[in-house]
Amino acid sequence: MNDCIFCKTNNKEVSAKIVFENDDVSAFAPIKQVSKGYTLVVPKNHFESIFDIDKNTLEKLIAVSKDLSEQLVKENNATGINLLHASGKDAQQSVFHFHLHIVPRYENDGLDLWLREKL
């Protein structure tokens, strides 16, 4: 897609701190870091959401996400990981290229990424 920022990142049209790359998947640090080591994992091919990504590519993304999560915890002394995804406008998807967020967590980091019951 011509205007997709993640496609442009994959095609090296915009600069990014790439932390992993193979033929199917890339992972990079977003400009705005919510925690030390925060990383996005994206397929090289454009898929808008969970609804159109093929299972084979999704499996590759999950495998890379697991490996990167272990690496990020070790390298940054994190005490946990949140793995996040949103598909669709009403789910708060902001970039319409499938992606997973790996958010390393730390004691008393002040982040609250957990769902709360609507009152």
Asked whether residue 113 is domain-assigned, the answer is no
Asked whether residue 117 is domain-assigned, the answer is no
Task: State how far the Cα of 56 lies from the Cα of 58, in Å rounded to an integer.
Answer: 5
Task: State how far the Cα of 115 lies from the Cα of 29, in Å rounded to an integer.
Answer: 24
Asked whether residue 111 is domain-assigned, the answer is no
Asked whether residue 17 is domain-assigned, the answer is yes
Asked whether residue 37 is domain-assigned, the answer is yes
43 backbone dihedrals φ, ψ, rounded to 5°: -75, 150
Q: CB neighbours of 24 closer than 8 A, spacing ≥ 6?
A: 43, 44, 45, 57, 60
108: helix, coil or strand? coil
- Position 74 scores a pLDDT of 97
Give this prediction's pTM: 0.92
- Residue 119 above 70 pLDDT? no
Residues in the chain: 119
- For the chain, what is the domain count? 1
Catalytic residue among 46, 97, 99, 101: 99
Residue 28's pLDDT band (cuts 50, 70, 90): very high
Can you give the CATH number for the domain in which 63 is found? 3.30.428.10
- Position 23 scores a pLDDT of 97
* Domain extent for 27: 5-105
- Residue 1 above 70 pLDDT? no
Active site residue 101: no
- Position 13 scores a pLDDT of 94
pLDDT digits (tens, 9 = 90+) for 30-77: 989 999 999 999 999 999 999 999 999 999 999 999 999 999 999 999
State the average pLDDT for the chain: 94
Task: State how far the Cα of 93 lies from the Cα of 64, in Å rounded to an integer.
Answer: 21
Asked whether residue 23 is domain-assigned, the answer is yes
- Position 14 scores a pLDDT of 93
